[in-house]
Amino acid sequence: ETGVTQSPTHLIKTRGQQVTLRCSSQSGHNTVSWYQQALGQGPQFIFQYYREEENGRGNFPPRFSGLQFPNYSSELNVNALELDDSALYLCASSFDLFEREQYFGPGTRLTVT
């Protein structure tokens, strides 16, 4: 059974640019959530996708957007990057929407200069 994978591992972007981060869910999981983890803090919920539809969003501006594909893989897009967007971005998948457990990928470290 393959776990949650994310790409790329590290990324450096310039303020104002756009970035796309990718996540492959664990096999059989139809629910994906994205989190932002700033240095020294806990993960903050960005949004969740269930069967290709957004199912809830945290306190993040619209320039954070996402997609989930028919194979349940997912993308996180961030437009107009700001310095404060520098963080570890974590993807987590669950077997189903009301499952109490989620499984995290290793994260993508984004640095905005």
Partner 1 sequence: GNSVTQMEGPVTLSEEAFLTINCTYTATGYPSLFWYVQYPGEGLQLLLKATKADDKGSNKGFEATYRKETTSFHLEKGSVQVSDSAVYFCAVNNTNAGKSTFGDGTTLTVKP
Q: Which is nearer to partner 1, 43 or 112 (CB)?
A: 43
CB 105, min distance to partner 1, A = 5
Number of neighbours of residue 45 by Cβ within 10 angstroms: 15
CB 93, min distance to partner 1, A = 8
Find, among 12, 30, 103, 102, the residue nearest to 71 by Cα. 30
Q: For the chain, first and last CA: distance in Å?
A: 37
Binding site for partner 1 (CB under 8 A): 4, 6, 31-33, 40-45, 48, 56, 90, 92, 94, 97-107
Distance CA 10, CA 107 (A): 9
Q: Give the DSSP letter of residue 84.
A: G
CB 6, min distance to partner 1, A = 8
Q: Which is nearer to partner 1, 20 or 44 (CB)?
A: 44
Q: Which is nearer to partner 1, 14 or 59 (CB)?
A: 59
Q: Which is nearer to partner 1, 35 or 112 (CB)?
A: 35
Distance CA 102, CA 92 (A): 6
